[in-house]
Every structure is written in C-alpha cells, then in structure tokens.
Amino acid sequence: MPKPSTAYRCETCGAQAPRWSGRCPDCGAWNTLTEIARGSKIRTGRAGADLRSDSAPSRLLTLSEVEGDREERHSTGLGELDRVLGGGFVPGSVVLVGGDPGIGKSTLLLQAGAHLARGEPVIYVSGEESPLQVASRSRRLGLACENLSLLAETHLETIIPLIRKARPRMVVIDSIQTVYSDLVESAPGSVTQLRESTAALVRLAKTTGSALFIIGHVTKEGAIAGPRVLEHLVDTVLYFENDLGSRYRIVRSVKNRYGAANETGIFIMTENGLREVRNPSAIFLSSRLEGVSGSAITVMREGSRPMLVEVQALVDEAQSMPPRRITVGTDPPRLALLLAIFNRHSGQSVAGRDVFVNVVGGLRINETAVDLPVLLAVWSNLTDRPLPHDLIAFGEVGLSGEIRPVFGGEERLRESVKHGFTKALVPRGNVSRQERKEAGDLRIVNRLDECFLAVESWLASG
Ligand code: TYD
Ligand code: MG
C-alpha cells in the first residue's frame, strides 16, 4: 500500500504524527497539529547558515587543560540581574527572558543595555516598538546611551550581518516571536521559525562573542510561546514573575549554564523604571502591625537568598459546611494536612471553623519550612494571642506532630538576627553551636506542642 503523502506537525512541540488528531500525542496541546508534506524537510539548521563556526579541528582535552581560566563576566549595571545571571553575563552567552506582556522585560533590558552602552556598543533590535517609542522611553527613564543603537528590524538575514559587522558587547532581541528567516517556509511566529531563528542567533553569539538577550512571550500556561526546544538552545533561561498585581517583580533563572538555577533577583516597578530591591526582608516586613494575633514571621529562601516574610492566618466560625480552608501563597492541599496535624497535636482544634492563610506581599512559598509558621499564625489567631514581635520560626511539621529540619537553617537564622529578631523556634539539626550562642533566645523544638508551650512561656514572661 502506498504511504499517504501528508503528515502532521505540532506547532507547540514540533512532534510529528502520521494522522491528524485534535490533541498532540506528544505534548497534549489542543488544535496544534498542522498538515505538512511527508518527507518535506524544513531546511533545519540553515537559517543564517553563512555563520559557520571557524573553530579548530576537534581534539581531546584533559580537564587540567581547560580548567584555570574563569569566564569573563560583565555587569549589566543592575546588581539583581547580575545575581540571577550568576555574577554578570558571559561574552557569547545567550539568555532567553520570558514573562507576561507588560511585566517589564523591555524595560529591564533597555536599562541594562543603556548602562552597558556607556562604555561599549550595544544593539537593541526591536520588532515590537518603533525606534521613537524606545528612544522616548529611554529618555523618560533618564538613560544616557551614546553607544546604544536601535534597530527596527524583524528580518533575520538583515539583522545578522549588521550585528556581525558592529560586534557589540550586547544585543537585545525584542522579541523572538517577531523575527523571521527567509530560509524557513513557515510563517513568522511558528515553531519552526522560532527554532531556526534562535539557532541562527545562538551561532551568531558563539562566533562573534556578543552576548545575546532574547525576549520571549509567555503563553497563558506560563511556558515561553513555541517549543520548549528554545530553552534547550540557549545557555540561560530567565522568567519574570509577579503575583497578585503587586509592584514587585521576581526574575528567576530556571536554567543557567553559567550559574545556579533557581536564583532570583527582586525588583520593584516604579514610574522611573525597575528599581532593585537589595534588602527584601526589610521591605516585606515594613508594613507589619505589632501586637496583632494571627501573624507569624518566617524566613523563606528565594534561590540562595534567605528572606523574612510575614504569614497571616484568620480563623473564623464556619459560614457553611464543610468549613473553608483557603491559602494564598502556600500549598492548598498542605494546609488541610497541617490543620489535621494541628487538631491532633496542639491541644486546640479548628474543626467547624473557616481558616484563611496569606503570605504578605504576594509572595509564594513552595517549601515545607513554612509549615510551622502557618500553624503558629493559626494558633495565635484562634487563641487571640499575638506572638512575640521579635519571634521567627521555620520548620517542616510531620504527620506525628514532629518538627523536621529544613534546608539552609543557619543562613535563615543569620538573616533573622541581622534584622533584630531575638527569639526563634528552630528544628533540631538546623543550628550549629555557634549559631546557638549568637541567636539570642533560641528554642530547639522537636514537637508541635513544645512550640506552643515555648510561646506561652515567652508571653508569660512579658
Ligand atoms: P514593558 O517593559 O514594556 O513590558 P514587557 O516588555 O514585558 O511587555 O513594561 C511595560 C509596563 O511597565 C507598562 O504597563 C508600564 C510599566 N512601566 C512603569 O510602570 N514604569 C516605567 O518606568 C516603565 C518604563 C514602564
Ligand atoms: Mg516589551
């Protein structure tokens, strides 16, 4: 039997299927299969193909031959951005920056580009905004940028020779979804275009040594629109996040060949562009009320950085059955589990009551260290007793009411001492002898009921 002459390719993941279906068998996306001619190969890897790397013939190297030299790093002028990049950017590296529209991607890279352009050539390629828009924004932000060149172009084969010739220190592509190559048959913005344009730009960065920052739009599901394969092509992937419409912006590295993944940089969006938040603990605690029940302070970790945050709880007579258990900023199923442990091991009960938990500042805590502070806030609101204002707590709570150690205990304690906290409830195994001496009134706790006894004794002693 002759083979059918057509096949189907998913516009999201690039997978091929012999037959059409409503849902991609590979990535599960709906309505993404489009017909292609079977055997018709897109000219993979051809876009911008005049840029062959002129590297030396392959030979085997021993580790000691390649060690020694540390990569050269350049500062973007924004300490928080340098931090997520692993200490500045590396020449020839390619960074993909993803995030929702309007979150501040263009602003961030314009600020970084303008800073760098004080000393070195930078090219900002904009397919989204006109040069007039970009220039007026940079003027409004007070960015002086002699060496910042703007290029309003989306045609890859025009962009590449210009960059080759100018050899800038840094190039911003805003955004990859607007770029298209003549050598690819499919439409701009399609998976093939995205992949081929990115691959050509990566080759360009590697051969010229210019660092490339590529802006990518994010789909509703939160992935950079188009194939995941873009993430594999580049060296570093940064995502811009913010919660609940707050002015804070977190830039997180989800992949980094030149630094730690999951590192974060924190910014605040102001009328004058993005400002760095160098001391997040001070900011997130700044509007805290003292002497109020239902508030507990904990130390979370954002990337490698410990950060003080306030966890609040409100316990109320249930308005309906079953009672509501709602949390914003922590894991919802885990709240139900923690409340069951609380009912069993605290000598108190929230049965028949609604419980609401909130992490202040629109932050999200994805670690079990928040278990103990959540239950302390619940206990405090239920019994209407404010916790000591200079108390911090962290620790995982197990099903038998045991308090388990968490990662990075000593750093968390150091951060809280730095901000004037003198009382701490800390799991055994999370503190060294030295910390015990320095941390003021530190209680090592093994079980949940001990925590409440410790709080009561602090409250009794005034
Ligand atoms: P932008 O960088 O254009 O976002 P993206 O490139 O991710 O789509 O940011 C646009 C938003 O930021 C816009 O809603 C206005 C706001 N903004 C400020 O609040 N202050 C500023 O100084 C700038 C430049 C933008
Ligand atoms: Mg933009």
CATH of the domain at 294: 3.30.230.10
Residue 354 falls within a domain, yes or no? yes
How much is the pLDDT for 352?
94
Residue 167 falls within a domain, yes or no? yes
Residue 61 falls within a domain, yes or no? no
How much is the pLDDT for 54?
43
Q: Which domain, by its residues, includes 186?
A: 75-278
Reading phi first (left if > 0) and then psi (alpha if -120 to 50, else beta), residue 347 is in left
Nearest ligand, CA 268: 1
Q: How far is the CA of 29 from the centre of ligand 2 (A)?
A: 26
pLDDT along the chain (462 residues), means of 10: 67 78 80 69 47 58 68 92 95 93 93 92 94 90 84 95 94 93 84 90 95 86 64 92 75 92 90 90 80 94 88 95 94 97 96 95 89 98 96 97 94 90 91 69 92 95 83
Q: Which residues line ligand 1 (CB under 6 A)?
A: 99, 101-107, 137, 141, 269, 271-273
Q: How far is the CA of 450 from the centre of ligand 2 (A)?
A: 52
Q: How far is the CA of 203 from the centre of ligand 2 (A)?
A: 24
Atom 23 of ligand 1, residue of closest alpha carbon: 273
The answer on 223 and 104 residing in a single domain is: yes
How much is the pLDDT for 43?
45
Candidate of 105, 136, 174, 269 to mutate for ligand 1, largest count of ligand atoms within 8 Å of Cβ: 269
How much is the pLDDT for 41?
46
The answer on 14 and 107 residing in a single domain is: no
The answer on 183 and 270 residing in a single domain is: yes
Q: How far is the CA of 216 from the centre of ligand 2 (A)?
A: 9
The model's pLDDT over 136-183, given as tens digits with 9 standing for 90+, comes to 999 999 887 778 999 999 999 999 999 999 999 999 999 898 999 998
How much is the pLDDT for 296?
97
Candidate of 81, 97, 105, 107 to mutate for ligand 1, largest count of ligand atoms within 8 Å of Cβ: 107
CATH of the domain at 118: 3.40.50.300
The answer on 200 and 167 residing in a single domain is: yes
Q: How far is the CA of 438 from the centre of ligand 1 (A)?
A: 44
Atom 22 of ligand 1, residue of closest alpha carbon: 273
How much is the pLDDT for 69?
54
Q: Which atom of ligand 1 is nearest to the CA of 129?
A: 3
Q: How far is the CA of 215 from the centre of ligand 2 (A)?
A: 8
Q: How far is the CA of 82 from the centre of ligand 1 (A)?
A: 20
Residue 56 falls within a domain, yes or no? no
Write down which residue in 278, 309, 335 finishes a domain. 278
The answer on 205 and 257 residing in a single domain is: yes
Atom 1 of ligand 1, residue of closest alpha carbon: 104
The answer on 391 and 376 residing in a single domain is: yes
The answer on 182 and 129 residing in a single domain is: yes
Residue 44 falls within a domain, yes or no? no
The answer on 389 and 375 residing in a single domain is: yes
Q: How far is the CA of 98 from the centre of ligand 1 (A)?
A: 14
How much is the pLDDT for 350?
97
Residue 214 falls within a domain, yes or no? yes
The answer on 335 and 207 residing in a single domain is: no
The answer on 27 and 11 residing in a single domain is: yes
Residue 291 falls within a domain, yes or no? yes
Residues with CB under 5 A from ligand 2 (ion): 106
How much is the pLDDT for 435?
64
Residue 426 falls within a domain, yes or no? yes
Specify the number of domains making up the chain.
Answer: 3
The answer on 317 and 456 residing in a single domain is: yes
Nearest ligand, CA 270: 1
The answer on 204 and 142 residing in a single domain is: yes
Atom 25 of ligand 1, residue of closest alpha carbon: 273
What pTM value is reported for the model?
A: 0.77
The model's pLDDT over 14-60, given as tens digits with 9 standing for 90+, comes to 778 888 888 888 777 777 787 776 644 444 444 544 444 444 567 88
Nearest ligand, CA 242: 1
